[in-house]
Amino acid sequence: MLPLARQHSARPIGPAAHITASSRVLVLERGSRAGVTATEAGRSFQARVDIVNLRQIRYFSYPARARGPLNELLHVNSSRRYLLISPCRDEAQYLRRTLDSVAAQSVQPAAWVVVDDGSTDGTSAILEEYARRLPYLRVARRTDRGRRQVGPGVIEAFYAGLNTVRLEDFEYLCKLDMDLDLPVPYFELLMQRMESDPRVGTTSGKPWFVHPQSGTLVPEICGDEMSVGMTKFYRVACFQEIGGFVRQVMWDGIDCHRARMLGWIAESIDNERLRFVHLRPAGASQKGIWTGRLRHGFGQYFMGTSPLYHLAVVIYRLPTYPVLLGSIAMLWGYLRSWLKGLPRYDDLEFRRFLRSYQHDCLRIGKRAATARTNAERAQLWHGSHPVPMDRSD
């Protein structure tokens, strides 16, 4: 039984702060790491990070409160078999944090396949250790190709893991990165959200990361209309209908837009209980942030993003880390791809839908454009997903 050390009215948020379904914070300290406390101001807060060395487990009281879609849970379905697929390569630095946070989940996965994509550090040994402890964890190994390959390489590894199971045996599927620290009720709350609305096809929480200069915990930029790439949580039916993931950069954008085009709802939820820590910020390529942002620019070009919309995004991100440099790289990545005449995602109907949606975002704002698109596509979804009649009488 976990020891109850003390109760406190503070709100610790961060790598060690996990908010449980009973509205208490479970803080798991695993050796030397970041301990975080935070004060909230409206929808945003800053967390001062101090490096500490704690070897105990503590509970803190947390006032029961929820915001956004989690306030609207209608019922809970008893079928909660979810599958995790985790491609990874050379993740020894962060691996234990992710493994421990999944092991601590309030609802355990039915199966978890971790694909060791040719790791050359201590990843393999760590995975073997945890595979002996976690009955649902299986490790699939791939031959070392000599380098980390994001985009298509990640999705190839994902499918190498997915092909070892029968997807039809599960209700939910999650592509999970191995550089995350998740709150204890993370997957339970995502399943509750999906059970409350059958149109929600993919969802996630919001990622935060420790700013390398200020040392504060800050949110990554990600729209509410997209589930985030590091924890793509899917209803299996939706995943199958969109045809799975495209084996190219921007796979994690194409999937959400295609789901929306088919009438599903794609989202990420800005709720305190679903905030998780991304130990390697998005766009921080193994070759540096410049390379990561260049790749992002190419991905937007490949997906079919409107040039005007991409320019607006580049301008919007100017003040975010890395200031100016990141935006320049994103713009050049897009322009360079256009000048070279590189191929684009080969689905004209999808690209037309995407640009129409993006232009609506520029005209009326992303929130309103998403709501309108979801409303317009509702009939399409209901036409192919009839709700069973209640015959209880």
Average pLDDT over residues 3-30: 32
- The lowest-confidence range among 71-80, 176-185, 371-380 is 71-80
Q: Is the pLDDT of residue 332 over 60?
A: yes
Cβ proximity of 36 and 217 under 8 Å:
yes
Question: In angstroms, how far is CA 139 from the centroid of its own chain?
Answer: 21
* pLDDT tens-digit series, residues 66-104: 334 444 433 334 479 999 999 999 999 999 999 999 999
Q: Full-prediction pTM beyond 0.85?
A: no
> Residue 282: what pLDDT?
57
Average pLDDT over residues 233-254: 96
Give which of 182, 196, 199, 162 is closest to 86, Cα–Cα: 162
**Residue 51 host element (H or E):** strand 44-54
Structure tokens at 118: 């040719």
> Residue 49: what pLDDT?
31
Cis peptide before 185 (omega within 30 of 0): no
Q: Is the pLDDT of residue 28 over 60?
A: no
- Which domains, from first to last, does the chain contain? 17-61 (no CATH), 79-278 (3.90.550.10), 289-379 (no CATH)
Q: In which region does residue 151 sit, left (phi positive, over 0), alpha (psi from -120 to 50) or beta (all else)?
A: left
Instruction: Give the C-alpha distances (Å, rounded to integers) separating 64 from 103, 309, 386.
Output: 24, 39, 36
> Residue 149: what pLDDT?
61
* pLDDT tens-digit series, residues 143-170: 876 565 666 889 999 999 999 999 999 9
